[in-house]
A = this chain, B = another copy of it.
Amino acid sequence: MALPDLSLYLVLDPVLCGGADGMVSTAVAAAQGGAGIIQLRAPDWKKRELAACGRALIRALAPYGVPLVVDDQVDVAMAIGAAGAHVGQKDLPAEDARRLMGPEAIIGLSVSNAAELEASRSLAAAGVVDYLGIGPIESTSTKPDAAAPLGLPGFAALAAVKPCPVVAIGSVKIHNAAALAAAGADGIAVVSAICGTADPRAASEALLAAFRSGLKK
């Protein structure tokens, strides 16, 4: 499929959202607020629960045309007919995810340093990966095992040589959304800036507006 608008990329957190029902309602609110792509990420969940939640998300998001990608669990993504999968450096290689899911799937890859970015160039050129998630921007509570923070200058340096669209991830909030856009991000991926907030739709709208305000005219 054509790559969706990455400007606002929501990564769902089951704890912050309060479980599967909360993830669905948060996803719908975010879609209404302008999120263009949503990722299901629940690393502590078993696959059966993850698949059930993913199917509920796909049904709920269909009216908005917002694609769902599944973190890490390519088999769950395939079983539920998700639009794609996002893999990290310790997950299945992106080549395997692409081969298993086919040419139409959205395949994203996490990159956290210059070496990983360099290694992703051939993957992007070959159409194996559609976008990169570059981060973390700052240290983040929602991913305890994340790599060292890049900071804004570090992100800008990686984004400057990007081989395909990139989203900034890891402690992305309303306060740095515009700066990340100015630094070359094609989108911002957020977790706690939407999940668990009082009004996820309003939070999404504000994040999207902030991001767009930073784009080079």
Q: Quick check: is A47 within 8 A (CB to CB) of the other chain?
A: yes
Within 8 A of B (CB), among A47-105: 47-49, 51, 72-76, 78-79, 89-93, 96-97, 99-100
Count A interface residues, CB 8 Å: 21
Find out whether the CB atom of B96 lies under 8 angstroms from the CB atom of A72. Answer: no
Q: Quick check: is A46 within 8 A (CB to CB) of the other chain?
A: yes
Q: Which of A73, A92, A96, A99 has the most CB of B within 10 A?
A: A92
Find out whether the CB atom of B79 lies under 8 angstroms from the CB atom of A47. Answer: no
Distance between Cα atoms of A91 and B50 in the complex (Å): 9
**Hey, which chain B residues are within 8 Å of A79, CB to CB?**
74, 92-93, 96, 99-100
**Hey, which chain B residues are within 8 Å of A76, CB to CB?**
92
Partner of A100, one of B46, B73, B78: B78
Q: How far is the CB of A50 from chain B (nearest CB, A)?
A: 9
Distance between Cα atoms of A196 and B185 in the complex (Å): 50
Partner of A92, one of B51, B91, B93: B51
Distance between Cα atoms of A79 and B73 in the complex (Å): 12
Within 8 A of B (CB), among A88-127: 89-93, 96-97, 99-100
Find out whether the CB atom of A46 lies under 8 angstroms from the CB atom of B96. Answer: no
Within 8 A of B (CB), among A12-58: 46-49, 51
Task: Knowing that A46-B91, A51-B92, A74-B75 touch, tell me 15 more A-B residue pairs with CB under 8 angstroms.
Answer: A46-B90, A47-B72, A47-B91, A47-B92, A48-B92, A49-B90, A73-B75, A74-B79, A75-B96, A75-B100, A76-B92, A79-B92, A79-B93, A79-B96, A79-B99
28 A-B Cβ contacts within 8 A? A46-B90, A46-B91, A47-B72, A47-B90, A47-B91, A47-B92, A48-B89, A48-B90, A48-B91, A48-B92, A48-B93, A49-B90, A51-B92, A51-B93, A51-B96, A73-B75, A74-B75, A74-B79, A75-B92, A75-B96, A75-B97, A75-B100, A76-B92, A79-B92, A79-B93, A79-B96, A79-B99, A79-B100
